[in-house]
Chain A
Amino acid sequence: MSDRPLLEVRELRTWYELRRFGFLHQGWVRAVDGVSFVVARGEAVAVVGESGCGKSTLVKTLLGLVRPLRGEVWFDGRRIATAADLRWYRAQVGYVQQDPYGALPPFLTVRRILEEPLVVNGVRSRQEREARVRRALEAVQLVPPEEFLPRFPHMLSGGQQQRLVVARATILGPQLLVADEPVSMLDASVRVEVLQLLRSLQERQHVAVVYVTHDLSTVRHFCERVLVMYAGKLVEQAPVDELLRDPKHPYTQALLTAIPDPDPDNARRLRPVPAGEPPSLVRPPSGCRFHPRCPAAMPGVCEVEEPPEFRVDGLRRVACWLYDPHAVRAPAGSGRR
């Protein structure tokens, strides 16, 4: 197997045009604004960010549902540009939606739902389709398959529905799974089950996973690497253990401070989190987009120029002026915590 990455995204920009009366140009919503990253074969990568940071637009762009304004998506060494590329690409990418019930057609049985991608992709033999449907159900532990095949989505519990969605996404044997908040609609007791299922598929079938979530606490056991997104940009990329142990970007630090652990002392202390809200994506702040809320903001620097991604400790990338190796100033607030 080659060393080249499975998925490579270069300087991706997906902007939505705002029009008045449907035709007068009014501005752009910069939902994804210059995002670059790679995903290796079989790797699980989490994209973490708050609502409105552009993570769903990133997903739509990755799936080829929205055309980016600029930037490139490369898959397995091939640039996805034409309609033919897109057709080839889509057969290799599975999509796990956020709301399982909304993602499943209510009037189709489990058998039909799973057969559909096979029919569309030209699997002619009925026996083969049947065998693959059964294998897919077994892989997501909807067993015995006979019991589930004739059911309709509403006859399944939330966790079972989500496992069916995973089965559908993996039935063509994709190399990449894109999961957009796959567990945010599920109860705590079921959440782990679905995450462990995704993890085991990743390990057994060597599928790469892009796991998009707002919940940083779920990434630890289920991913290798985390990309932190804020206002349309990636602010930090790091291996998951390092990120949780020693967050570099002030936004990542704030996110980690804000997440409570089930600890009885929580009720007796306030959390030191920055006030304010994420900025508008139509008129984002100048310079670093986090600077109006940043406790470590350096006047004269952060609001003037946008920080590029700096390499920190080898594998990590942080878009923050605190980590500028050529700067004269000492990086305040970057000390180990």
Chain B
Amino acid sequence: MAPLLRLEGLRLYFRTAAGPVRAVDGVHLEVGRGRTVAVLGESGCGKTSLARAVLRLLPRNVAEYSGRVWLDGQDLMELPEERFRREVRWVRMSLVPQAAMNALNPVVRIGDQVAEPLWLHGRVRSAAEARAYVEEALRHVSVPADFVDRYPFELSGGMRQRVAIAMALILRPDLVVLDEPTSALDVLTQANLLNVLKTLRGELGTSFLLITHDLATASELADDVAVMYAGQIVEFAPASQFLLQPQHPYARALRAAVVSLREDRTPQPLPGQPPSLLRPPAGCRFADRCAFRFDPCGTPPPRVRAGEGEVACWLFAQEGSRVG
């Protein structure tokens, strides 16, 4: 079966005085129906820009926006902006932005905010009908029904984050993009929210694209993990493979750098820093920091199979192993 979402060579460059910043530079990615894919990367690797590129929420200084975004077999890049807004954004794909809990309108009651997409997209005709939808959505994220009449400041951070998720779910999209959904929350609140998301996934069968910098959060939700480095996906693999046997040298280094509570090993720092996205290296972007660097790394690596996933690395390139 065709995947729900498929990205092919997606590019998003920003115009700056110093030249174009290649925030997303040729990303290939698939999200299966009902699956959760975590995009894992460090700050500045372009993961939030990737989320924006998928939902076509672009700032004004775009230098290039190209490639293919297939949703359910339809090429979304062909759609004009108005049709995209009316038929796709929030209807079939929605976003829980970073720090969503601070994005709620302080002077609008919770119930009215969550209901807004319903009115804008003409799904309801009466307030009573809207309220029924809202209560249903809030129930899915375990927010008590009597919160509909409250204002955002009366809710804790964790509860506001749940409200933002309810808003993203209200039109029952097939795909929800979650940008760092737990990063500003406390440990216990985080665990509670992840429980909510896990239950949701089972109940609704929604697909999630989870943007995160935290490997442990990714392990909590993801079926597949895409590791992003300097604007590109360097490894895409089932979560179990990535967590137990990461393949790409960057993925291995990232895994080894994670400080973990119970694992009996000393975490290893990864020296150096990512390249500038203004003038990225011509070949493999990780080559300068890579312990396995050899001759071919000066040219862009092919995407090749590695175990059950794929990597963009010359180490794994053999006859017949190429995927794209």
Contact = CB atoms under 8 A, between A and B. Distances in A.
Nearest to B264: A220
Contacts of A214: 186-187
A119 B215 CA distance: 44
Interface in B7-54: 36, 42-43
A153 B223 CA distance: 40
Given A50-B186, A255-B188, A264 B244 contact: yes
A192 B259 contact: yes
B291 to A, nearest CB: 14
B216 A191 contact: no
A262 B192 contact: no
Interface stretch (A106-114, A272-280, A308-316): A272-280
B199 A195 contact: no
Contacts of A271: 191, 194-195
B92 interface: no
Most buried by A among B240, B244, B255, B259: B259
A294 to B, nearest CB: 12
Contacts of B188: 50, 254-255, 258, 273-274
Interface string A97-140: 00000000000000000000000000000000000000000000
A188 interface: yes
A194 to B, nearest CB: 9
A218 interface: yes
Contact of A261 (B195, B216, B266): B216
Contacts of A299: none
B205 interface: no
A273 B214 CA distance: 20
A267 B187 contact: no
B216 to A, nearest CB: 4
Most buried by A among B188, B253, B270: B188
Contact of A277 (B158, B187, B255, B257): B158
Task: Assign chain B's interface to a size class.
Answer: 35 or more
A260 B259 contact: no
Contacts of B42: 187-189
Given A188-B254, A189-B270, A264-B244, A50 B259 contact: no
B198 A196 contact: no
A217 B260 contact: yes
A189 B254 contact: yes
B273 A188 contact: no
B268 interface: yes
Contacts of A255: 187-188
